[in-house]
Structure formats: structure tokens, C-alpha cells
Structure 1
Amino acid sequence: MKKYLTISGVAIASALMLTACGGGTPSSGPEAQKAQSAGGDISKLISINEKDPKDLEQGGTLTLALGNIGPDFNGFSNVGNSSDNTALHRPIDGAGTWGCWNFDYDGTATPNKDFCEDVKSEIKNGKQTVTIKVNEKAAFNDGTPIDVKTFENTWKMLQGKNKDIDIVSSGAYEFVDSVKAGANDKEVIVTTTQPVYPLDALFTGLIHPKVNTPEIFNTGFSGNMHPEWMAGPFKVDAYDAAAKTVTMVPNDKWWGAKPVLSKVVFRQMEPSATIAAFKNGEIDATGGRTLTRYKQLEGTKDTDIRRGQRLFAGGLNLNAKRASLTDVAVRKAVFAAVDREAIRKVRFNGLNWEEESSGSMMLMPFSKNYQDNYPVKESGPEAASKILTEAGYAPNSTGIMEKDGKPVAFKITNFGDDPTSLATTQTLQKQLQAAGMDVGIDQKGDAEFGKIIGSREFDMTISGYTVGSDATDAVKQYYDSKTNENGLGDAELDAEIAKLSSIEDNAERNKAAMEVEKKHMAKYYSMGVVMNGPEIQFVRKGLANYGPSLFKSLSNVPDWTTIGWEKK
């Protein structure tokens, strides 16, 4: 399941993310860095100050900022599906966020032995049987064992049959035929109606058996974290809804590796507030992915700057259900009007980051299975105007293109108060206006991101999703007509998507997924990639095992049990 991200310089990116010592870098600017193309050296995109946990100071506090905390804490629902919510849950809910799987920097999945000690797959007569050996010690904080009932409930809540359950995507769960106990309740036997690949498409995240109705799933986490339904190395010590602060301490019920830190604090803050907070020592890390933030943060005493790749794809996020954007010709004209390179120059100005235009929402350009699927080859105001003219639009008395008395008019919702992010939005606005569209800006706070995006209260945003190492889940989430948030697609593409999970060969399956994306983009124009971008983290000197981590982390923390402070 891919998580929503803004392009702001402070939001902690989920799965797909982004060094210097002392007081920052010289005034000439950050060290030059390029995105990696297919086959590139991804080690250049990782920077975490890796240390053995046993060599670190035992104890200590880590304080981090998030753009929003709540109000909905169910990461499996559309309203709770955000990178900030995932980052908040990582330390306290490995069951809900990692589940059966761990991921290496390159995206390779292996069983997460804290929960699933072994996962085996067998194909017989075209049917698949997956046998999962669950850790005997695995249990939720309320004492409920993590066993076959957990896996059965996860399947039933996410399979998509009950349309009242507001899931993001049914993914591979719709192909699960049964979940039953084997020799005992800690042996889970999963059978499928067709083979499912990759295996980590199933049970990357587990749902407590008590979350078993649409009401609990959809609204039961509104303002309520339900820590009793979690399981992880830390536990919630305090949640202050008024102060928007969550404090965590080591979980005495955790059976896995014990964490180094004695306390973790997350605070909700607007981007501008995080700059002063970091410089004053109130928080221990913050993003510097825009020039404005970078220049304000550089020179901060006792600071490391850690740089890498942000695992993000997006920029053009259109709400095709809004009246102003229901016409595919308008959406196509938006794609054509955009000068992506010019937007990236504004966004990455001064950061010494170079990347070519990306053309996939599902894979990063350094993936060996990547292909450029961006659907428009000719761009600019004239190309966009031509598309609208051919669709029956013409300039009105004010120069705005309109059809049947309805002008092409909509707003771009911008989140947060970062000047570079606003300048990026204004650049896009001007490009669209040059093509004869009446485009305004709807300014919102960072804390409103989850609610507005989850409830689809926008025309267009410069936002996108995290990017995984395999396209199989993403192609269904984004392009299946029954699943994607715009409801765009058709039976032919849906049939192609349904076949993907049964293709065992990784290269063949991803190639097929890429072809689906190519066809969908060229027909429906709902999401387009303007940028991937760097991950740049300003980090308090001495913090170990934190920073840009590619697929090993959704929040710059590869492992919450190993993060800690170097001995002084």
C-alpha cells in the first residue's frame, strides 16, 4: 500500500526516501548529487551514520516533528493513509506497519521473524498454498495472540468484498480463498484462487481481530490511537491531542530486540516552526529538501547533513471527480501545459540535485524494471490549447477556455508554509494559466493534509505517493477502476491487472504492470510525475542509524531498535 506524500520539505517520507559534519556545508551550497538511473549504485543514496547498537549510549531521547498527527490513526483506511501516520506508527506498531516482512535497502523482502518466522509457498494444480509459521511470542499489547485469527481478520477486512469498509486497496487479498489454522493457531495456512506474487503483497501489516466491523475500521480510530491493538518495540506513554504530541517509551511486552532509546517524542509542527525548533535543539532532525529550508538550517551547530534519494513519485494529482476536471480533455491539457523541468528547477534550486524527468508512479528510475510512461510528448501552452480546442473549447471574453458556457477553472491546493513549495505551486499555476485555464491557489496548513486528501476535498495538488520496489500492488491501487480514487479505468485494463499477481517472474510481472500504467496514463490522465527528488535530512550530530534509507525505511529509521546516540 503506497502512502500519500506532499512535496513539502518537512514531511517524513514513507517508503521511498532521502552528509556532512559539524556546522553544515560551505556557502557554495550542498554537494552535487544525481539520481541514479537503471543499474546505478544505490549505495550513494543511503546515509544513516550506521553504528552497532551495542556501541551506542543506552537510553536517551529522540524528538521528531510530523506535519500532522491524526485525527484518524487507521493507516489501512483512506483517511489515515499518509506517510506521517505511518512514521508515527513505526516504533509502536510493527504488527500494523511491517507485519510478516522486512525490506532491505534495495527492496528485497525477507520474513520479519518478530512476527513470521517462516513463510513458504507451494503451487499445486494452479492453486497456491502459503504456510506461515507465526512467532510463538507474538501478541498485541492487550494480550491477544497474533495467530490465525489475526491473519483471517486482516484478509476479511482488506479483501474488498464489503464496500462499506473504506480500504485503500484490496491488493492481492481478493485472490485469497481461505485462511485457516494448520497444526495449531500459530501455523497459518493461506490458500488462493490464483498464485500471488510477490509474496510480500500479503500480510505486510496485520489488523487486530477486534477491528472487525466497518464502523470500527472507518471511524473507530478518529482521535483514538488504540495502542492496545498494536505491537512494537515502543508503546504509547502519552497522547496529548491538544498539544498534538505523542510520547513513546520501550514496550515491556515486546519480545524482540530491545530498543536503545528510552523515549521517543513526536510533535506536530508546521514546516516553518521546525526550522527554529531544530536550531534551538527542540527536535533532533528535520528535512531540508527546499532551498529555503536548506539555507535557514545550514550552519546549525553540531549538525550532520545526510543526503540520499527520496522514494517519491508525483506532482500532478488530479481529482477527476470534481466537476472542473471530469472531462479527460481538460486533464490531458493539464499534462500538456506543464513544463516539468521548469518546475523542478524551482523546486530543487540551489540543492545541487539533478534528475531526468521520471515517467512512472510505480517504480523509481534506478529500478531495472522502470520505463517512462508519461503520456504527453509535446508540451507547452500551445499544445495544451490545441487539445482543448479540438475537444470543443474556445476562449471566452476574458481569454479563458470554456465549453457550453463552463470555463476551465479550478484550484491547486497547497499545503504548509514553506516558500519553495509555494513557489513550485505558483509556477505550475502560471503554466496552466498560460494555456487559458483559470487556476487559483487554495492554501491549507500541513496539519490539514490527511483530512483533505483522504476525503478528496481538492481539485488538484502537487502531491504523490511513496514508491515501492515492485509495481504489482501499485498498479492495482492506482489503475484498477474498482480501486483507484478517481474511479477511472475499464474492464480491459482491470482484466490485465487481475492477471498480474499470478506472474511469478519478477521482470515479466513488472513489465506487464508498466504496460498497464502506460495505457491508463495515455487514456485517463489522472496522475503524473513531475519529480522524484532528493531526501535531505539535517540531523543532530551523534544520532546513529538514522537518515535516507531507501526501501529499508518509511521514515528515515531503518530499525527502531537500533537508532540511538553515540557515546560522548
Structure 2
Amino acid sequence: MSTLSRTFSRSARTLRRPPAAVAVALSAAMLIAGCSGSSGDKDGKPAPGTNSAAPAVGSQQINPQPASKVKQGGTFKTEIQQWVTQWNFYQVDGTQGDGQSIVAQVEPSLFTYDAQGVSQLDKDFLVSATVTSTNPQVVTYTLNPKARWSDGRQLGWQDFATQWKALNGKDDRYLVADTSGYDQISAVTRGTDDQQVKITFGKPYADWKRLFRPLLPAPTIATPELFNKGWLEKVPVTGNSWKISSYDKTAQTITTVPDPHWWGAKPKLDAIIYRAMDASAFTDAYLNKEIDYAPAIQPEDYKRLVKAPGTDIRSGARWDEVHITLNGARGPLQDLAVRQAVDLAIDRQGILASFSKDLPFPVKPLNNHFFMPNQQGYKDNSGKWGTYDLAGAKKLLDAAGWKDNGAGKPRTKDGRSLTLQYVLSAGSSSSATDQAQLVQAQLGAAGIGVKIQTVPSDDYFTKYVNTGAFDLVSFRNVDAIFHTLLYSTFQAPSGSQVYGNYGRVSTPQIQHLLDQAAATTDQTASDALYNQADALIWEQVHSIELYQRPQIIAVRKGLANFGASGLGDWQYNTMGWTS
């Protein structure tokens, strides 16, 4: 992918969709998902360069097996791309995908996604959740009375109320990554007892099922201090079938184990071990049996992994987009004309050709910020801004006063050089590095200098992306099944609070359209509003969409209920070994 992926995890997702916010991830690694059936060689492994169709929406390859056929016991070893420091899913520094996927394993997710990306009630946590009034919109949740936090408390309405107060944006001491949805709630009240909660919205909110997912324990986020710092280096309280048993910073491993106090079906595995390592090390770690799955999307990795004994290649279609973010809050990119020139000077087809060589199915340009090509509602809104036009880029720069100094030299204006900083993670894959170099060469042809700055993987988001210490960066936004998850990505910053809008580019009209879309319960009308906003986002050059990242992964044979899950969630309780 581009370079990273955000949840809008925001590093690579290892197991499960980060549920409540979009995740960001390094494009270097592949965020896992699921699929059913693939074409390929006699071993069922897709061959590089074959012209098979891309996996369709709803497809999965996870080796689905009933729990009765999965052995009790065993360990699953997997990778994460960096050590997790901030574990609060909702805090501005907690959007890294690896951390979010682990939190999704150990905290209550009230709904799960099926293979079609449709939310299903999780009965381990909820007896029911329904819209009980439409004017105003009221959603009533009835909690499973068996559901408890690891400190012994029952899940209750106060957990909802506390989370709402922290996330609704009314107290800017809470450093929140995304207030959308929560800022539409007017009241959270107790129902017939402590295990029933009524959520009242000030105006209709279509994507209510994505809120409180995960639910966090009230005592751990009740004050700004606890919210911002109480989850540093640890998850203080859990509330799911798994808990974290150890954080070994020296070995760079985090281990989760089944919680013996869990009230539902017992997980099959004894432990899941997450090991932090650079993406460049994944393939060797898999071949050395240090981990049990590895991304196989890079041609050089695929060619090695497809031959590995006892290996399945599993592929699927996930909501997973690769893009380049432009920082509109500093330097030359504050000028819309310069951002538009950058857009026109980047040859997306050239980047795709470099990335997709030898893949088993074609990869096409992504021309929408909200919809994937295999989703209902997808429309190409890129217009002229999705077209490579070097001459047009030069004209814009001429008109903006940037002097052309000849081939190989950056343009200048008022004594300043038109040189941009492209920040790249040290853990990036070869495709991410190739992409940065291609962008450098393409922009150079327009007289825009690009300096590639490689920074430590652990610092990439916290010290550079989140803080705006870049001109150009590339990462992935993943799992935005609910489009309101992307609201913060295009939300106007407020003071030092940038939400998920790391490039700090927005307009009142874009935000108004997104507000309208979120309040529109008619799907067709809502899709139309998102597409209107998308056209403006292209024009403002908030970010340049590149492609939907395919899912191609190598997994140990015998591993069931795991793999390329597509739009679906992982089922941690049934995944395990059949042999």
C-alpha cells in the first residue's frame, strides 16, 4: 500500500477490523481480512501474473470450520509493525491499527461484521439493541447481565454515559481522535435497570451501530487525565473472552490468553503472541516459523511464500485504500494551486504498474475516498484531478509564481525552493519505498523537489503523521464500512485538535455535506451526499487516492477460521488448529 495503514488504525492490522474508528496502517504490510475459493495452480495457490478476477465483495478465505473440528489448545504467533504505546482506542495517539486490533480482541464489541460487512448483534454482550423512537431517534440497548469487566463490575449504562462524555467533543481536554456520532447524541440515560441504556440523538444518525464499539470501562476514561494517560503502555481493564497476559518490551511481544472468567464459549487457542518487527522481516520470520502468517502481496515475498511447505495462500477483498496525504497547513502546500499541481504531476497509473506487477489479479486506480470499487455506491468523482497532466501542473505553478529553473532543479519563489518532505517509515515495504521514489521522480519533472526522509517505525505516526511534521505521507485507511468513520478524516481541525485530518485540509461545504450524509437514513440519498463531498475532496486535494489494496496472505495449513476475512470480523473464539 502506500506506506502505512491507519484504524483508521492507522499501522497494519493483524487480526481484526478495528471497530469504532477507521484504522490507519503502514502500507508496507498487509492488513488481514478473509475469502472463499481462489483460482491458481494445482495446489490452489494463485500464480503470479494470472489474469483472474479480483475477489468480490463478501468473499473470504479463512478455512471455515465448526468449533467441533478445531482442536483445543495451541498458540498462534503473528506480527505487528510497531510497539504499541497508547492503548486507548479513541485517543488521538491510539489510532494505530495494531493496537486497535488487539483492543478489539480484549474489550466488548457490541456488534460484529459478517462477510458482507453487515453488523450482527453479539449476544455475549447484548440481549437487544433497537431504535425505539424515531422522533427524536432513541436507541435502547439491553445488556447481557452475565457480561462483566475484568475488575468484576457488570457492564452498565454508566459505561456508555462516560464514553459519550469523553468523546462528544464538548471538553477539549480529552484528546479525542474522532467525535463524530458521539457529538450527535443529546443524552445517555439509565433504562429499566443498570443493564439497560437509552441513547437519544439530537438529530437522526444512520450509523449508530458503529458507536460504542468497542465499549470501554467507565473508571478508566472518566477524566481527561485517565483518558489521555491511563492507557499508556497497558490496557487497565478488559471485558471480553481474552485478556493481555504480558507486555514484554525487551522481546517486543504482547501475549493474549483466554480470560478464565469469560461467560461465553471458551476460545480454542491457549494464546496469541504478537511480535513487533519491521515489515521487511515478515517473510523470513514466517519461513523460520517465528510467526504463522505473513503478507504475500509483494512479488518478492509471494514468490518465496508460495513455495513454503505447509502453507496456504488466502486472498480476499477488504475496505483498504492506499493514498497520499498532503499537508495543507505548512509550506507551499498551503496554496491550493500547488496542491493541485502536485495532484496533476503524479502519474497514478505508473505507481499502480509498479505495485501490481506479478499479482494474480488486476489492480485499478481508486477514484473515490468513501467507497471501494466493489461496494454499492461507488462512483468515479476524480474528474480532472484523477488524470495525469504534467503540462497542466506546470501551468498552475507558473501562475502561482513559482519560477521554472530548468530540468532537475526545483522551482523557486521569493527566495524559497519548492521542495517537499516525503516522510517514509523505516519499516516500509519495497512497494512503499518504490512509490516514494516514483513520486519523487514524477514531481521532479514538474519542478517540485522531493526529499525522502526515513524515520523510525515507532515514531512514524506519533511524531510525524499525527503532528503534521511532513509535506507528503502515504498510509492506508482501512475498514471504513460505515462511512461516518471517515468523518474525522475530512473534519476541520479545531485549534490543536486535528482529529483524523492529518493533512488539515477541509472546507465548510465538505463538512456540511458529511453532516447531511450522517443524518440521512435513506441509503441512496446518503450515498449521493458522500459522492458530492468526494468530488470536493478531490478538488481540494486533501489526499490522492491510489488503489484498493488486495488481500493476499500466507497462512499455515491447518489454521482454521483465520485468513483473508474481507469485510468480516475475526472470530477469536473459534480460530485455531485442525492439525
Same fold, TM exceeding 0.5? Answer: yes
- Alpha-carbon deviations, 1:35-79, whole Å to 9, x = none? 36xxxx434x42111111111111111000110121222221221
Contact 1:74 1:217 in 2 (8 A): yes
Instruction: Report how far residue 261 of structure 1 moved.
Output: 0.5
- Alpha-carbon deviations, 1:291-344, whole Å to 9, x = none? 122123231111111112242113211222232422222211111111111101
Q: Does 1:220 align with 2:230?
A: yes
Task: Report the Cα distance in structure 2 between the residues aligned to 1:475 and 1:184, rounded to whole angstroms.
Answer: 34
Task: Report the Cα distance in structure 2 between the residues aligned to 1:386 and 1:275, rounded to whole angstroms.
Answer: 45
1:485-524 correspondence runs (5 A): 485-522=502-539, 524=540
Q: Secondary structure at the match of 2:398?
A: helix
Instruction: Report how far residue 459 of structure 1 moved.
Output: 2.1
Partner of 1:4: 24
Instruction: Report how far residue 24 of structure 1 moved.
Output: 7.1
Contact 1:196 1:502 in 2 (8 A): yes
Deviates more, 1:260-269 or 1:408-417: 408-417
Partner of 2:17: none
Change (3 A) 1:17 1:199: farther
Change (3 A) 1:400 1:532: same
Instruction: Report how far residue 468 of structure 1 moved.
Output: 2.3
Q: Does 1:244 align with 2:252?
A: yes
Partner of 1:196: 205
- Alpha-carbon deviations, 1:227-284, whole Å to 9, x = none? xx22121111111122210112111121222111011100001122222211111110
Partner of 1:564: 576
Out of 182, 185, 190, the residue aligned to residue 191 of structure 2 is 182
Task: Report the Cα distance in structure 2 between the residues aligned to 1:324 and 1:164, rounded to whole angstroms.
Answer: 31
Q: Secondary structure at the match of 1:552?
A: coil
Change (3 A) 1:295 1:16: closer
Task: Report the Cα distance in structure 1 between the residues aligned to 2:214 and 2:492, rounded to whole angstroms.
Answer: 22
Task: Report the Cα distance in structure 1 between the residues aligned to 2:430 and 2:137, rounded to whole angstroms.
Answer: 52
Instruction: Report how far residue 18 of structure 1 moved.
Output: 13
Instruction: Report how far residue 4 of structure 1 moved.
Output: 0.8
The two structures have a TM-score, normalised by structure 2, of 0.89
Instruction: Report how far residue 287 of structure 1 moved.
Output: 0.6
Partner of 1:550: 566
The two structures have a TM-score, normalised by structure 1, of 0.91
Change (3 A) 1:425 1:30: same
Contact 1:66 1:266 in 2 (8 A): yes
Task: Report the Cα distance in structure 2 between the residues aligned to 1:325 and 1:25, rounded to whole angstroms.
Answer: 48
Contact 2:313 2:555 in 1 (8 A): yes
Partner of 2:453: 442
Change (3 A) 1:21 1:291: closer
| Structure 1 residue identity aligned to 2:510 | L
Change (3 A) 1:262 1:564: same
- % of aligned pairs identical? 25
| Structure 2 residue identity aligned to 1:75 | F
Instruction: Report how far residue 551 of structure 1 moved.
Output: 1.8
| Structure 2 residue identity aligned to 1:367 | Q
Q: Does 1:351 align with 2:359?
A: yes
| Structure 1 residue identity aligned to 2:95 | N
Q: Does 1:309 align with 2:309?
A: no
1:147-186 correspondence runs (5 A): 147-186=156-195
Partner of 1:135: 144
Partner of 2:542: 526
Task: Report the Cα distance in structure 1 between the residues aligned to 2:37 and 2:247, rounded to whole angstroms.
Answer: 28
Contact 2:35 2:61 in 1 (8 A): no
Question: Gaps (5+ residues) in structure 1?
Answer: none
| Structure 1 residue identity aligned to 2:340 | K
Instruction: Report how far residue 165 of structure 1 moved.
Output: 1.6
Change (3 A) 1:52 1:15: closer
Task: Report the Cα distance in structure 1 between the residues aligned to 2:544 and 2:227, rounded to whole angstroms.
Answer: 30
Out of 349, 357, 365, the residue aligned to residue 373 of structure 2 is 365
CA-based RMSD = 2.5
Task: Report the Cα distance in structure 2 between the residues aligned to 1:560 and 1:140, rounded to whole angstroms.
Answer: 18
Contact 2:491 2:506 in 1 (8 A): yes
| Structure 1 residue identity aligned to 2:366 | S
Task: Report the Cα distance in structure 2 between the residues aligned to 1:244 and 1:548, rounded to whole angstroms.
Answer: 25
- Alpha-carbon deviations, 1:457-485, whole Å to 9, x = none? 32211212014233233245424555533
Out of 198, 218, 225, the residue aligned to residue 209 of structure 1 is 218
Q: Does 1:113 align with 2:130?
A: no
How many residues of Structure 1 are paired with residues of Structure 2 in the alignment?
A: 549
Out of 424, 427, 430, the residue aligned to residue 419 of structure 1 is 430
